[in-house]
Amino acid sequence: MRAYVFSEWQRKAELREVPIPEPGHGEVLIRIGGAGVCHSDLHIMHDWTPESFPPASFWSLPFTLGHENAGWIESGDIPPGLEKGSAVVVSPTWSCGVCSSCKLGDTNYCDVETVVAGGLGRDGGFAEYMVAPANCLVPLKTLEPWQAAPLTDAGLTSYHAVKRCLPKLTPDTSAVVIGVGGLGHLAVEFLRELSGARIIAIDRDEKALAIARDRGADVCLKSDDSTGEAVRDATAGLGAIAVLDFVGIDSTMLLATQIVRRRGEIVIVGMGGGVLPFQNGLIPYGCSLTYTLGGSTRELTEIVALAENGRILPHIERCRLDDIEDVYRRLHDNAISGRAVVIP
């Protein structure tokens, strides 16, 4: 089968012929119906090394990229209730299942760092088939795999970030989403569905802001030097109780500290490599600042339910595996609307 294989740090992956993988104990073979193209793949290919991004020291190269996957079960240790041909999504964070984090249901924060996931250290979904552990699958009832693929990372990661802030997101508060691309446009949808808060979207791209407006953002701001002031104006001078940063570079992280209000939440999701001085007087008093990773398998079941009930819908651009390099070029140049999904 054809697969998009990453084999060397600081080099792009390439399309290659590889054997169809064989599922091991507790694993299933999935025929891929859709695999989302995440900005993290650009970091993997061009920015990171195991030295600069230590979690990658547990990855074994080469592996097939694609960590946002959905498809149909083909064979293997098929869980009870599912069968060959059942449509499923695959969680992008795999877990040991026995550590205390896993036992609490926080599978995305599994304590065993050596457990790595498909497309992130093991073979992923930019291929006709991939192998995945049966315990990281969530069944689909009505959605087609290509429609559901973005739920597994763009959806799950943004949902997890929003859920962290929910207790503080009362209707008299505001939430800011910085970077309303693949992940951020879904964060806007989750904020709209789960909270009564006003939603402020910030992006440097007008098309991304148009999608955010369509998905429920109350205020859309093109990012420039005056963005901080514009957020203050839009929040009666107070700032936002939650700021979700889906870019994660120096300037967006600094902006987050300038527009969050006292006792607020700053959640950094973007992996742009930004550094923020954590300094008295710089970050408003009582704020929490965190980096999140993906979301739990339990949260993935909640998002699938939201999508299958028609409450949220990823904005998708479909593409072919043969065009993957062009898709990454366009993702790099900000020319993808919402999420690109490869249909092998």
Burial class (CB in 10 A: 0-12, 13-18, 19+), 181: buried
Under the binding rule (CB under 6 A), the answer on residue 64 touching ligand NAD is no
Binding ligand NAD (rule: CB under 6 A), the pick from 21, 145, 270, 314 is 270
Compute the distance between CA of residue 92 and CA of residue 90 in angstroms, rounded to an integer: 6
Q: Rounded to the nearest 5°, which phi and psi values hold at 75?
A: -165, 180
Under the binding rule (CB under 5 A), the answer on residue 95 touching Zn ion is yes
Q: Maximum distance among all alpha carbons in the chain? A: 60
Q: Which stretch binds ligand NAD (CB under 6 A): 15-23, 113-121, 174-182, 278-286?
A: 174-182
Residue 102 binding target from Zn ion, ligand NAD, none, CB below 5 to 8 Å by type: Zn ion
Q: Which stretch binds Zn ion (CB under 5 A): 96-104, 167-175, 233-241, 245-253?
A: 96-104
Residue 204 binding target from ligand NAD, Zn ion, none, CB below 5 to 8 Å by type: ligand NAD
Compute the distance between CA of residue 57 and CA of residue 254 in angstroms, rounded to an integer: 29
- Give the Cα-Cα-Cα angle 307, 311, 315 (nearest 5 degrees): 65
Compute the distance between CA of residue 70 and CA of residue 137 in angstroms, rounded to an integer: 9
Under the binding rule (CB under 5 A), the answer on residue 110 touching Zn ion is yes
Compute the distance between CA of residue 296 and CA of residue 163 in angstroms, rounded to an integer: 11
> What b-and-e string marks burial along 324-340, b requiring 16 or more CB atoms within 10 Å of the CB?
beebbebbeeeebbbbb
Binding Zn ion (rule: CB under 5 A), the pick from 37, 38, 247, 256 is 38
Binding ligand NAD (rule: CB under 6 A), the pick from 115, 177, 242, 247 is 247
Q: What residues between 184 and 223 interact with ligand NAD by CB under 6 A? A: 184, 202-205, 208, 223
Under the binding rule (CB under 5 A), the answer on residue 151 touching Zn ion is no
Under the binding rule (CB under 5 A), the answer on residue 158 touching Zn ion is no
Residue 205 binding target from ligand NAD, Zn ion, none, CB below 5 to 8 Å by type: ligand NAD
Compute the distance between CA of residue 183 and CA of residue 269 in angstroms, rounded to an integer: 9
Under the binding rule (CB under 6 A), the answer on residue 43 touching ligand NAD is yes
Binding ligand NAD (rule: CB under 6 A), the pick from 33, 294, 314, 344 is 294
Residues that bind Zn ion (CB under 5 A): 38, 40, 95-96, 99, 102, 110, 153
